[in-house]
Amino acid sequence: MLSFKYSTDTSPDGIMWFLPSNNCELIYANSSACKLLGYEEDELKGISFFDIDPLACAIHKLNDHIREENEINKECVFRKKGGTLIPIETSTSLFSIGKKQCVRKSFRDISKRKEDEQRLLQNLEKEKELSSMKSLFVNIVSHEFRTPLTSISGSVDLLENYWEKLDEGKRQKQMSSIKTSIRRMVKIMEDILTLGKLQSQESKFKPQQVSLNNLCQKIKEDLELSMENRSIEIKGDFFKQIYADETLLYFILVNLLSNALKYSPADTTPTLTITVNEKQACFEVEDKGIGIPEEEKDKLFNLFHRCKNVSNIKGMGIGMFLVKNSVDLHKGTIEISSQESKGSKFVVRLPLGEPLLVPQKQFP
């Protein structure tokens, strides 16, 4: 008995004895049990086991199980002195001290194991999601490349076989179609490369002085070149300089404005309004296009998400995801206000230090 008591006292597992005949009164707890539960030894003696295990089954059922199986091994939760619940692995058995029947409870804290299990489950879920996204990505990219490649192939065949029969206007039309398809493929590749950099954390925030006038001129020229017979209006504080990542800012504004052009009627002109003060730079992109369904606004920045009302308008559902990530790298915000069939407005706010108000030639 003395050796049994010594091994119990020195066990790294928590061990408690209690009397099932007396409301599960605790009559012994070793030092490991006291440490795990945050009690002093004198504090544990005399309290009910049900104060420690709030989910313990009725004691007569416990006894029935022990008699049938001799020992119960299970996971449960114990309540520490301060009320905190911790996950526990327990082993329960019966023994006798003289004529008294006692229950021996051996237990260990499995919080670390549960955390590891939860982390493993989360990683497995991420792997499943990543695998699904990769499959979706391959399907989308294959489809998006097939369309411009088919268009290029058709135009090349037409020019190759009927060059002499086509007048100059029709030749230029086919050449323009080829250029448009190439620009579309370049845009797809740029988005894919940007996505890859963001996901591999290779994309770094590199702030510098940015001339909004020069940036706006480049954006206007690039968009009007890629979308023939369309234009955008830029107004506000485009003559100022700010401190930002020029590459990311270009990407944000080009994506928002190209969407504004793509999803609005040809006879409308999307606008970019810029406001700069000592605290932030604000960029508002507004159009009179198809708008965003109310129930899809929360999903707009999800990777590969495309709204149900885009019909046959081409796209991969990558741009807005990248815009949101680029805004986040600036520690900025992006807000949406939109009504289906009436248009949309995106407001990007980027935090700044004191703006550099350098006079420049105003944007035409």
For 226, the enclosing helix (H) or strand (E) is helix 212-226
165 SS3 class: coil
Q: Which two tokens stand for residue 11?
A: 């066990």
Delimit the CATH 3.30.450.20 region(s) of the chain: 2-109
> What are φ and ψ of residue 43, in 5° steps?
-70, -30
For 256, the enclosing helix (H) or strand (E) is helix 246-262
123 SS3 class: helix
Whether the Cβ atoms of residue 258 and residue 305 lie closer than 8 Å to each other: no
* pLDDT of 41 over the 70 cut: yes
| Whole-number Å distance between alpha carbons of 180 and 227 | 8
CATH of domain 204-364: 3.30.565.10
For the chain, the 3-state helix, strand and coil shares in percent, each to the nearest 5, are: 45, 25, 30
- pTM of the prediction? 0.55
Output the CA torsion sign for 55, 57, 58, 62. negative
| Whole-number Å distance between alpha carbons of 159 and 64 | 90
Q: For the CA atoms of the chain, what is the radius of gyration? A: 34
Residue with tokens 């046959």: 312
List the strands of the sheet with 14-19, edge to edge.
Answer: 25-29, 14-19, 100-109, 85-97, 71-79
DSSP summary character for residue 94: E
How much is the pLDDT for 1? 47
* pLDDT of 71 over the 60 cut: no
* pLDDT of 173 over the 70 cut: yes
* pLDDT of 236 over the 90 cut: yes
Delimit the CATH 1.10.287.130 region(s) of the chain: 111-202
Angle (deg, nearest 10), helices 111-162 and 168-199? 170
* pLDDT of 179 over the 80 cut: yes
| Whole-number Å distance between alpha carbons of 197 and 322 | 10
Tell me how many degrees the CA angle 264-266-268 measures, rounded to the nearest 5.
Answer: 70
What CATH fold (topology level) applies to the domain 2-109?
A: Beta-Lactamase (3.30.450)
Question: Within a 10 A sphere around the Cβ of 316, how many other Cβ atoms?
Answer: 19
Least reliable range by pLDDT among 61-65, 252-256, 281-285: 61-65
> Per residue in 75-115, pLDDT tens?
888 888 888 889 988 888 888 888 888 888 889 999 898 89
CATH of domain 111-202: 1.10.287.130
Q: Which two tokens stand for residue 205?
A: 């925030």
Delimit the CATH 3.30.565.10 region(s) of the chain: 204-364
| Whole-number Å distance between alpha carbons of 23 and 201 | 59
| Whole-number Å distance between alpha carbons of 265 and 262 | 8
| Whole-number Å distance between alpha carbons of 76 and 107 | 10
How much is the pLDDT for 132? 66
Nearest to residue 305, comparing CAs of 167, 189, 176, 136?
136
Whether the Cβ atoms of residue 79 and residue 51 lie closer than 8 Å to each other: yes
Whether the Cβ atoms of residue 151 and residue 185 lie closer than 8 Å to each other: no
How much is the pLDDT for 6? 52
| Whole-number Å distance between alpha carbons of 258 and 250 | 12
> Per residue in 135-172, pLDDT tens?
666 666 666 677 778 888 888 988 888 888 888 888 88
Whether the Cβ atoms of residue 158 and residue 174 lie closer than 8 Å to each other: yes
